[in-house]
Structure 1
Amino acid sequence: MTTAVLITGTSSGIGRATALRLARNPEFTVYATARRPESLTDLAEAGARVMALDVTDEMSMADAVAKVEAEHGSVGVLINNAGYGAYGTVEETDLDGVRRQFETNVFGLARMTQLVLPGMRRAGRGRIINVGSMGGRLVFPAGGYYHASKYAVEALTDALRFEVAPFGVKVSLIEPGLIRTGFGDTAARTLSGSAAPAGPYAALNAAADQQMARSYRSTRLSAPPEAVAEVIHRAAVSAAPRPRYVVTAAARVLVHARRLLGARAFDAYLRAQFKGAA
């Protein structure tokens, strides 16, 4: 019997690339999900089973897990990928938008995990792969709330990994750097709409927008979603998956630089990157 792989947020980007890659593995039956399953036609053609799943809706999440368990007994691999970045300064960002972001990035991930774990424990095995970000290890200005959601994913994953190990469940965290998906466009759009053009943070917001645009265009600093899909596949099939996988060389440099430099030196680095904004 094949292993059931349930992936959230497969309509684009990392989720779509991951579903396509894992669907080629004959050991897996891949369940690709999105709020609008009609957007997943190409994944169905590639061999994935497509389902509606909204990680902000309790009934939707419970139904999706129940369907997989009805066919396989338990979810073998849960890949918590659904998430997005809404940007803006701490002072100016509307907190209703922050709550929506946490519902997807944090609470949806947590609830999906809660729903699959009873079945995994009964089976005595399972794997949970959370897609976080290098943004859970360091912070860029005008992205505090997004980073806060990814820091939360770091904490939840660390606790979960220890808690479920006795039941045969293995947990890994994927920490991508800049990935050429629609993420950068969403971040830039929310940033531009988060504050008045002539507000007190106008220079910072403009600098952040320009910095994101340059970085996502750079093939040296960013990577395609297939690079993350390859790492997720590795975490899904490894007999001894690593607790963390940082994806892209640039992300590894930044994560270690933040750790080694400390707050003041990293702030100085940011001031150099965001010239005229601080």
Structure 2
Amino acid sequence: MAKEKIMTNQKVVAITGASNGMGKAALELFTQKGWIVYGGARHIDNIPTGANTRALFLDVTDPESVTNFGQTILDEQHRIDVLINNAGYGENGPVEDTTMAHIRRQFDTNFFGAVALTQFFLPTMRAQHSGRIVNISSVGGDIYSPLGAYYHASKAALQQWSDTLDLEVEPFGIRSIIVQPGGTQSSWGAVARANIQKNLKPDTAYEPLVNVMNATLADDAPGMGASVQDLAQLFYRAATDNKPKRRYFNKFSDHMSVIVARAFPKLFRSNLKRMIQQNK
């Protein structure tokens, strides 16, 4: 039986990575605000649904899945107002030990998935002469830390791409915006810690560093104070501000960490080394 179409004049948002964490919280917030919400994820049983909220299977690394997700939305709504590219994770591990297959999976999820979905929806947004693409990066797109090289690189790529895209599509009434969360109370740290272990060679030379860095990724580590609801509110601002900013940060300290890393690299590196020594 065909799924009954949701047809109203409400705005339409598509959110990837909507089965947990920030994506799930954002889906719930947009629903409360009266939007038609499509949540995409591989584990759709974890996505809350309702009269104006749909859960669709989405694997952002699979081109056919991306097309099916996007086409379902356009078939049912004939428009798309906001795309939130939130799907992502941390493929943490030593640069030397991490396999090329895992590195490619990191970029396929964190970067190329966002590219594919954006390319799918852009023709519709241009025809509407409106639309907003909200790309969920991280302060890790500007700062760096040991064992996070491929995560940082994927987020840095997302930011440079988003800024370039914004210049190209603004004449069509479309904006491409970056949100940069800092430490957040979510499953991200647990996944990153698990991936560190998976990415260690049996004879790794980096075991001492792993023991230090695992402490910085703990759920109760300093700086992990933001809630997923805090970030959902930030997503909503980025999606709805009349005059959107190029970057959105949840806390002043998140923004300052980026400024220090970029403007004062020696100070940032010195502080990072000090933190590593304190955790030994």
TM range (shorter): over 0.9
What is residue 20 of structure 1 aligned with on the other side? 28
Percentage of pairs with the same residue: 33
Which runs of structure 2 are paired with 1:87-166 in the superposition (5 Å)?
87-166=92-171
State the TM-score, normalized to the length of structure 2: 0.92
Instruction: Return the match for 1:33 from 33, 37, 40.
Output: 40
User: Runs of 5+ in structure 2 lacking a partner?
Assistant: 1-8
Of 239, 242, 248, which aligns to 1:239?
Answer: 242
Q: 1:221 deviation in Å?
A: 4.3
- The alignment status of 1:78 with 2:83, answered yes or no, reads yes
Structure 1 residue 71, shift from structure 2 partner? 2.3
- Partner Cα separation in structure 2 for residue 46 and residue 228 of structure 1: 24
Distance 1:191 1:46 in 2: 41
Change over 3 Å in CA distance of 1:63–1:145 after alignment to 2 = same
Q: CA RMSD in A?
A: 1.8
**Residue 10 of structure 1 aligns with which residue?**
18
Partner AA of 1:186 in structure 2: V
Higher mean C-alpha deviation, range 248-257 or range 49-58: 248-257
Whole-angstrom CA distance in 1 between matches of 2:226 and 2:202: 31
TM-score by length of 1: 0.93
- 2:276 maps to 274
| Structure 1 residues 268 and 73: alpha-carbon distance in aligned structure 2, compared to 1, 3 A threshold | same
**Distance in 1 (alpha carbons) for counterparts of 2:106 and 2:204:** 23
Give the number of aligned pairs: 272
SS for the counterpart of 1:222 is: coil
Query: Do structure 1's residue 174 and structure 2's residue 179 form an aligned pair?
Result: yes
Question: What is the CA distance between 1:198 and its match in structure 2?
Answer: 5.9
Is contact 2:110-2:155 (8 Å) kept? yes
Secondary structure (helix, strand or coil) at the match of 1:173 reads strand
Separation in 2 of the partners of 1:193 and 1:33? Answer: 26
Q: Following TM superposition, by how much is the alpha carbon of 1:51 offset from its aligned partner in structure 2, in angstroms? A: 1.0
- Counterpart Cα distance in 2 of 1:133 and 1:105: 11
Q: Deviations over 1:212-239 (max 9, x none)?
A: 22xx314754311111100111111111
List structure 1 runs of 4+ shifted beyond 6 angstroms: none
Between the aligned partners of 2:269 and 2:22, the Cα distance in structure 1 is 30
Mapped partners of 1:246, 1:221: distance in 2: 14
